Structure 1
Amino acid sequence: MWTDMRPAVEMPRLFERGGDVISFAGGLPDLDVLPLDTVSAQLSRLVRLGGKLALQYTTPHVAGALVPAIKDLMAREGTTAEPGGLVPTAGSQMGLMAVGLGLAAPGETILVQTPAYPGAAAAFRTAGLTLHAAPEDASGLDAHALRRTVAELRAAGRTVRLLYCNPTFQNPTGATLPEARRRELVAAARELDLLIVEDNPYGLLSFDGTTTTALHALDPERVVYLGTFSKVFAPGLRCGWIAAPEPIAASLRRTTEVMALSPSALTQAALGAFHSRSGWDDLLDAYRRSYKERCDLMADALEAELGTDGPWQWERPGGGFYIWLRHRDGTDTARFVAAAAEHGVSYVPGSHFGIDGEHADALRLCFSNVPRKRIAEGVARLAAALTEPASTLRGAA
C-alpha cells in the first residue's frame, strides 16, 4: 500500500490543554488584540450582502479584493508579487505540502534549515522527499558550505533542487538570518540552480517594528515565498498564500486545486475587507506590543530561575513567538517532559525539530499566548522540573 512506502509522519501535540497546565508548547497567537467587534460586523455585512458568492465554490486564485492586503504585507519586507504569481492556501502548512508535491518528485532530496519547523519536515516526508540538513554556522545558513554539500549530494547520485528555510524569527530558535548572509545564500542558490522555499510566518512580528529584507525581494525568480494570515490576523480563518514565478505558481495552483478544490471565498473576502477599511498598522503594532511584553516576562523569569551561567543557555529573540533553550552538556530534554507535566507545565523537546535525531539537547518555549500573570509561574514550574535530581526523573538510569 502507499502508506507502507513512506515512514510514519507525526506532528507534536502542540495545542492540547487540560487542568491547570501552563502550556509553553503550541504557537498560538494572542487573539485578545484582534478587534472582534469590527471583524464580526464585517463578516455579517459580507454574508448579508454577498453571501451567495462568498459561500460558494471559487477558482484556485487569490481574490482580487485580497491582493492589495497581501501586497501591503509583502512590501513591508521589500518585495511584491503580481496576481498571476499568487496561489491561495489554507495557511502555510498547505503551502508546504503543495511545494513538496508540486515542485519535486518522490525520492528527491530537499535541503532543510535545522532545527526545523516540524510541520515542514512532516509535509516534505509525506510528499516522499528525503530531508538533508542545510549547512549552518553560528551566523546561520552558510552559503560556502552549501556549495560543498550540494556537490557531494549530487556526486552521490542524489537529486537536489529545493532548499527550505525560515529565515526571519525562525521557529524554533527565534533567530534571523543577517542580510549579508541572505545575499550570499541567494547567490549560491543561483549558481547551484536551487529553488529556495522561504517560509515567513513571523517576519512582520519584530518587537521594535523593524523588518528584514525578504529573500524573495533579492531574487523573486529563485524564491518561492510562503505567507500566512495566521500570525498577523488569526489562524482560524486558515488563509495564506504562495508567491512564486508565474510558471511555478501555475504548477502549484494545479496542486492546491487537487488538495482543496477551492479556497474559501468568504475568508478571502473578509481579510480583504478588513484591510481595505483598517489596514495592517494598528493590528501589527498591537501584536508586536503583546509579544514583546510576554517575551520580556519569560526571559526575565528564565534569568531569575535558571541564572545565566548554569547549564541552560538561551538568547532573547527580537521578534516572533519562541525562546530556544539548550543544555550545555547535551542532555536530552525529552527526559524532563514527564517531570514538567507533574509540575503542571508543558514544552516541546528539541528532538521534534531535528530531521535525523539532532537537537535533542534543546527545548522550545512559546510565550505568545500564555496569560501574562502566569508566565513567571510557568517558568518556575519548568525550572523545578529541569533541576530535579537525575535519580528522580522517570526513566532515569
Structure 2
Amino acid sequence: MWTDVRPSPEMPQLFERGGDLISFAGGLPDLDLLPLKELSEQFARLTRIGGRIALQYSTPHVAKALVPAITDLMAREGGSTGAANLVPTAGSQMGLLALGLGLASPGETVLCQTPAYPGAATAFRTAGLRLHGAPEDAEGLDPQGLRETVARLRADGQQVRMLYCNPTFQNPTGATLSVERRHQLADAARELGLLIVEDNPYGLLGFDGTTVPALQGIDPENVVYLGTFSKVFAPGLRCGWIAAPEPVAERLRRTTEVMALSPSAFAQAALAAFHARGGWDSLIDAYRERYRERCGLMADALEAELGTEGPWRWQRPEGGFYLWLRHEGGADTGRFAHAAAERGVSFVPGSHFGLDGECGDRLRLCFSNVPRKRIPEGVARLAAALRGAEAGTGSAAGADLDADPGRRAA
C-alpha cells in the first residue's frame, strides 16, 4: 500500500489563536458580520419544528430546499447546475479528497496550479496521486504550455487525470485568471481529455462587487466545481458542494457516502432557511466591504514598514483574503516564522504552497479576520521580525528552525 511508504503530508498550522498573538496565518472569515440574533432564532425554530428530521441521518444528496441557495451563488459567476449534478460535502476540503479517491487511481497524476493551496496538495497526496505543477506564464495558467506538458508526461507513461486550479482570487497569490484565458484553458483541457477541477471559495468576494465567469459556466460538461459556504457564510457549519456532470456526480456521491455516511441535514436546512428569508446580497456585500478595508489597511502598513524599494515585493489583490509577498534576494521565509512568533505575529511560509520545495522565498498574509486596529501593529511586528531575521541569517535559532521543518508554520 502507498500509505505504508509515503511520509505523512504536512498541513500548516493555521488557526492558532490566544494571548497576544496577531495571526495573519489562517483564512478565517470575519463572523462579526453574521446576524447572530436572527440566526439563533432561525436555528431555534428549525430545532423546535423540524428537529426530528434535521438532526437525523440523511441521504448523500443536497437537500431540495438548499438547491436554490447554491444555484443563486453559482449564477452570480455565470455557473449553472441542478439537483442531479450536486454532491454535498463538509466544505471544499472534503470535496478535494473525494475527487482524489473517487475519480482517480493511486499513481495517476494531477496537474496543480502553483503556488498551490496546501489542502489540495495534501488531499491528492493522501489519495495516492502524483502532483505536477501546471505550466504558467505572466498571464497565469498557460493553455499551450498545458498541451506540451500533458503530451510530455503521457509520453513518459504517466496517466494525467485532472487539472486543479483556483482561478479567482487564488489562494495564496490573490491572482485572477482573465476571461480570455479561461476560454482558452477550457478548450485545451477538452482537447486533452483532462478534467478541470475548479476550486472557488473566494469568487464572490471581489472588493468592487464585480465577478468573473466561472470555468464551470464556460464548460459545465468538463469542469468539476467545488463550492463552499465557509467564506460567504461561516465555516463552522461545515457545508459545501460539488457541482459535476451527472455521471461524475453519481460516482462522487458513492465516495462521499463512504467518507461521511451522511451530510449534515441540520446545516443544510439552516443555510436554506437563511437564504429563503433574505438571500445572500446583504451578507456578501458586507463581507466585500470589510475585506476591502482590511486589505487596504494591510497593504498600506506594508508599504509604510517595508517600503517599496526594499527586497520585499507584493501586489494588492482585488478580492479574496490574502497578500503574497516575495523576497527578491531569495531568503527562506521558513527561517523567519520563529522570529515572527517570538514577536507575537504569525504567517504561512511560502514553502507550504510549493509542490516540491519551491516558493520558499515567499510568504502569505491573511487580512480577513484581524481586527482593523491590530493590522498596523501586526505588520509592524512582522516587519521587525523580518528585518531582525535577515540581519541574523545563519544564527543558531535559524539553524534549529531548519532542522525542524514542522515548526515552520508555528
What is the TM-score with the length of structure 1 in the denominator? 0.98
Q: Secondary structure at the match of 2:241?
A: strand
What do residues 114-156 of structure 1 show as CA deviations (whole Å, max 9, x unaligned)?
0000000000000000000000112100001010000000000
Conservation of the 8 A alpha-carbon contact between 1:326 and 1:361: yes
Q: Which residue of 1 aligns with 2:96?
A: 96
- Counterpart CA distance in 2 for 1:49 and 1:19 is 41
**1:208 counterpart SS class:** coil
Matching of residue 110 in structure 1 with residue 110 in structure 2: yes
Q: Does 1:294 align with 2:297?
A: no
Asked if structure 2 preserves the Cα contact closer than 8 Å seen for 1:294 and 1:368, the reply is yes
Give the conservation status (yes or no) of the 8 Å contact 2:2–2:128. Answer: no
Indicate the residue corresponding to 1:366 in structure 2: 366
Q: Work out the CA distance in 2 between the residues paired with 1:101 and 1:2.
A: 13
2:398 maps to what in 1? 395
Partner of 1:143: 143
Alpha-carbon displacement from aligned partner over 1:240-293 (angstroms, at most 9, x marks no partner): 000000000000000000000000101000000000001000000010011011
Q: Distance in 1 between matches of 2:359 and 2:227?
A: 26
Q: How does 1:299-378 map onto structure 2 within 5 Å?
A: 299-378=299-378
**Which residue of structure 2 lines up, in the alignment, with residue 165 of structure 1?**
165
Matched residue, 1:4:
4
Q: Distance in 2 between matches of 1:235 and 1:163?
A: 26
Alignment-derived partner of residue 274 in structure 1: 274
| 2:137 matches 1:134 | no
Give the total of aligned pairs. Answer: 397
2:407: which partner in 1?
none
Code of the aligned partner of 1:36: L
Q: How does 1:142-221 map to 2 (within 5 A)?
A: 142-221=142-221
CA distance in 2, matches of 1:257, 1:97: 13
Is the contact between residue 117 and residue 171 of structure 2 (CA under 8 Å) also seen in structure 1? yes
Gaps of 5+ in 2: 401-410
- Provide the C-alpha distance between the structure 2 equivalents of 1:318 and 1:381, rounded to a whole number of angstroms: 25
SS across alignment from 1:395: helix
The CA distance in 1 between the partners of 2:79 and 2:200, in whole Å, is 13
CA contact (8 A) 2:348 2:364 kept: yes
Structure 1: unaligned runs, 5 residues or longer: none
CA contact (8 A) 1:390 1:396 kept: no
Partners of 2:304 and 2:118 lie apart in 1 by 30
Q: Secondary structure of the equivalent of 2:317?
A: coil
TM-score, structure 2 as length reference: 0.95
How far residue 396 of structure 1 moved from its aligned partner, in angstroms, is 5.6
- Alpha-carbon offset, residue 229 of structure 1: 0.1
Q: CA deviation at 1:7?
A: 2.8
Partner Cα separation in structure 2 for residue 5 and residue 336 of structure 1: 31
CA distance in structure 2 between the partners assigned to 1:392 and 1:340 by the alignment: 16
Q: CA deviation at 1:4?
A: 1.3
Match of 1:356, SS? coil
Q: Name 2:82's counterpart in structure 1.
A: 82
3-state SS in 2 of match to 1:224: strand
Q: Does 1:34 align with 2:34?
A: yes
Answer yes or no: is the 8 Å Cα contact 1:6–1:126 preserved in 2. no
Question: CA offsets per residue over residues 274-318 of structure 1, 9 Å max, x none?
Answer: 000010000000100110110000000000000111100000000
Q: d(CA) in 1 for partners of 2:341 and 2:79?
A: 44
Q: Distance in 2 between matches of 1:134 and 1:231?
A: 26
* Distance in 1 (alpha carbons) for counterparts of 2:10 and 2:392: 29
Question: CA RMSD of the aligned region, Å?
Answer: 1.1
CA offset at residue 45 of structure 1?
Answer: 0.5
Give the SS at the match of 2:162.
strand
Q: What is the CA–CA distance in structure 2 between the aligned matches of 1:180 and 1:210, rounded to whole Å?
A: 16
Call closer, same or farther: CA 1:391–1:225 in 2, change over 3 Å: closer
TM superposition shift of 1:392: 7.6
Contact 1:91 1:240 in 2 (8 A): yes
CA distance in 2, matches of 1:221, 1:153: 24
**Residues 61, 87 of structure 1: 8 Å contact kept:** yes
* Partner SS, residue 225 of structure 2: strand
CA apart distance, 1:18: 3.1
State how far apart, in whole Å, the 2-side matches of 1:294 and 1:382 are. Answer: 16
Deviations 1:348-381 (A, max 9, x none): 0000000000000000000000010000000000
| Structure 1 contact 162–197 (Cα < 8 Å) conserved | yes
For the residue of structure 2 that corresponds to 1:51, the secondary structure is helix
SS at match of 2:364: strand
2:62 maps to a residue whose letter is V
The percentage of counterpart residues that share the same residue type is: 75
3-state secondary structure, aligned to 1:336: helix
1-side partners of 2:316 and 2:77: how far apart? 22
